[in-house]
Amino acid sequence: MSAITSADIDKINDILQKNKTLPGAMLPILHAIQDELGFVPDESVPMIASALNQSRAEVHGVISFYHHFLTKKPGQHQISICRAESCQSMGSGALESKIKQRLKLDYHQTSADGQYSLSPVYCLGNCACSPAIRINDDIHGEMTMEKFENLLDSMVTFNLELK
């Protein structure tokens, strides 16, 4: 189970109250929870099931069907590597191996310090600049390990500035 706060529970209850009567309410509710908390915590599953009069298995089924929904709190920096055709043809396979080694992470994992999460993505709409990756909301094209190391350095600087 992920640890969420009572304030998070209040936010989930608010979302349920506002959305539960919508037609097809499950997806808007899941999106709203992820937008608010950054993920869909395990604790929300029975709450959603009860609000929508559905089983927990049905809620789990929808969450696991859509890769968009995260069930664990993501890292501060979410790194996605494009695995679609154009990026593959431009070497994203080798790049992803090196990035995984560098971060000591596999896909769908978060570093122990909570800094980085790694995920695959299938086309970032940046095919002309393959291989592409996304870090949080920014897309970076023509990616190399050297460029990635520079981006990591800038993330470390950003983290220090936050402290």
Residue ranges in contact with ligand FES by CB under 6 A: 82, 84-87, 123-124, 126-127, 130, 132
Task: Tell me how far, at minimum, the Cβ of 140 lies from ligand FES, in Å.
Answer: 11
Bridge partners, residue 119, by sequence = 80
Q: According to DSSP H, which parts of 38-108 are helical?
A: 44-52, 56-65, 85-89, 92-103
Q: How far is CA 159 from CA 63, 116, 155, in A?
A: 31, 12, 6
Task: Tell me how far, at minimum, the Cβ of 143 lies from ligand FES, in Å.
Answer: 10
Task: Tell me how far, at minimum, the Cβ of 27 lies from ligand FES, in Å.
Answer: 25
Task: Tell me how far, at minimum, the Cβ of 31 lies from ligand FES, in Å.
Answer: 23
Task: Tell me how far, at minimum, the Cβ of 86 lies from ligand FES, in Å.
Answer: 4
The CB-side HSE value for 61 (13 A sphere, CA atoms) comes to: 6
| Smaller CB separation from ligand FES, 75 or 131 | 131
Contact 101, 112 (CB under 8 A): no
| Smaller CB separation from ligand FES, 14 or 85 | 85
Q: What whole-number distance in Å separates Cα of residue 82 and Cα of residue 153? A: 21
| Smaller CB separation from ligand FES, 63 or 87 | 87
Q: State the amino acid at position 36 in one-letter form.
A: E
| Smaller CB separation from ligand FES, 62 or 127 | 127
